[in-house]
Structure 1
Amino acid sequence: MSVMPRFSFDQWVTRVINPVGFVAVVLAFLFLPCASVSVTEWPSMVLRDNSIFVLRDNSFFKAVTDDSVTGGNIAFRDGPPHQSAHRSGYGWSVELRMGTIVTVLVMAAGAGTGLVRPAERRLRHAAQVAAVAGVFLALAVLSAAGRMEDNTYGLLANEFGQRGEEEFHYAAGPETGFWVSLTGLALIFAINLFALRALRRRG
């Protein structure tokens, strides 16, 4: 009768939790919305082409400005795939694109830390990768949100002039994909530190 091998806690962490966790974090960043922009307040009237327009609701401005992007959008395509009002794209800078790609590569590299020997080094490297990836993730997403906010400013200013733009309030910031990825990295970091401490106590 065969007996299934019993894994210690650090083995479960390095062989199961880390690979699965890092892959899940990469997928969340690439395919879930990680940054968005939205109009939060709008004026009752706007000036356009020297004519005053009365606004009954904000549906038009939501169609024009509200948008979200994934990490994949930032790294591999210029603009969002679904919003026609932003069809000109956000003009992501080369630095932002490269930073986003590096973020993905760093997170993906975390899945390979299980190949490192010995066990103590595996745990330490995984925690370090999670911490570095978290910093890159925050920088990439916040930079993208800032670019989206600038683009929205330009859309409103171009459409309604400076006076009209000043009467709008909009916000850009992190979205679900960012928080899921960041939470995953934080959990990986904490679990590996805990396992590393337990391994040192046992050794």
Structure 2
Amino acid sequence: MTVKIGVLALQGAVSEHIKALKDSGAETIAVKDASQLEELDGLVLPGGESTTMRRLMDKYGLFDAIKIFAKKKAIFGTCAGLILMAKEIEGRKGPHLGLLDIDVKRNAFGSQVDSFESDLKIDHVAESFDGVFIRAPYIKKVGPGVEILSTYNQHIVACRQGRFLACAFHPELTGDTRFHEYFVKITKENK
């Protein structure tokens, strides 16, 4: 069974996500319009700057459409996408999409110059995976029903809650498709 997964194309490594999804066996499109969501089985919210992404989602009529989409479909958020999905964001009143029962800290590992890579163990994905952290958040705490998939220095950096998957790093920048393959699997299970 083939699934069709969109990548929100407002900011971030859109083409890299598209390539990783295609290499993982999914059909994929860059999503720039809310009407495109109707044909999708899943959606990737890529990295970027979460506040800017939220403004662009509002400007282009995508915010409410994604909230409706999320009621039944799978979503994978990376870095800023994770922040958009969180129910709690340190230093911010209220969530963006509020899909994941998690509390996040933005830019938790420092600024752009503090970006780094680290080998991660990711449950259900890989014993060894190259985590690329760029102005990355981390998850401070998770609610019931949220499965912690990976940690770095005792900070949660990947999780899953049902059909929602999120990570603080950028798997699309590694050339390793295993994390995207896992999302394709989740999307198929949810279809």
> Larger % of helix: which?
1
Judge same fold: TM > 0.5, yes or no: no
> Larger % of strand: which?
2
What is the TM-score of this pair, normalised by structure 1? 0.24
**Bigger-Rg structure (1/2):** 1
